[in-house]
Amino acid sequence: MSTNWGLPHYEVDHEWGYGIAFKLVAPQPLDPIRLEDMARDLMKEIADECVKQGATMIGHVKCILHTTGGWVKADTIGAKYGVYVKSELANPQSEGTLVINSIIVGLDKNKIIDITKTLGKAIPERYGFTATALDKKGMT
């Protein structure tokens, strides 16, 4: 037995997911509000660019920035729903590991990879970080 509890139901043509991690290092620590702003901008810009490139739906775009002083999480399911940000940071931070996951419907897998990689590097760099993509060994 299946039910949708009266909620809208969408048949998904195809969806692709992609994840990547970056080591972030800044010359000067950024305060927690700036780190939250960075995470918010990253989620918004990935989702917006995917739609601009032809995505039919944002499944889920999320990130977490782990630092020695805590973390910042952000996620969105599309522009009209906004970006949710939560953090447990008390002090400015100058380095951490940023993990991003993008699940997108109706967009070519290679475009999702390119958008996530490109913006995953560009947005932190806009905030003063050097962003270096990590391989699987660097993520464990």
Beta bridge partners of residue 73, listed in sequence order: 64, 86
E strand map for 31-119? 57-67, 70-76, 83-89, 93-105
pLDDT-derived band at 138 (thresholds 50, 70, 90) equals low
H helix count then E strand count, the chain = 3, 6
Structure-token match 């195809």, residue found: 14
Measured between alpha carbons, how far is residue 21 from residues 1, 97, 108 in Å? Answer: 39, 7, 21
How far are the Cα atoms of 5, 57, 73, 93, 140 from residue 51, in angstroms, in the given order? 28, 7, 22, 32, 32
**Per CATH, domain 15-139 is 3.30.70.1130:** yes
pLDDT by residue (tens digit) across 35-82? 999 999 999 999 999 999 999 999 899 999 999 999 999 999 987 889
**Domain limits, the chain:** 15-139
pLDDT in tens, 66-125: 999 999 999 999 878 899 999 999 899 999 999 999 999 999 999 999 999 999 999 999
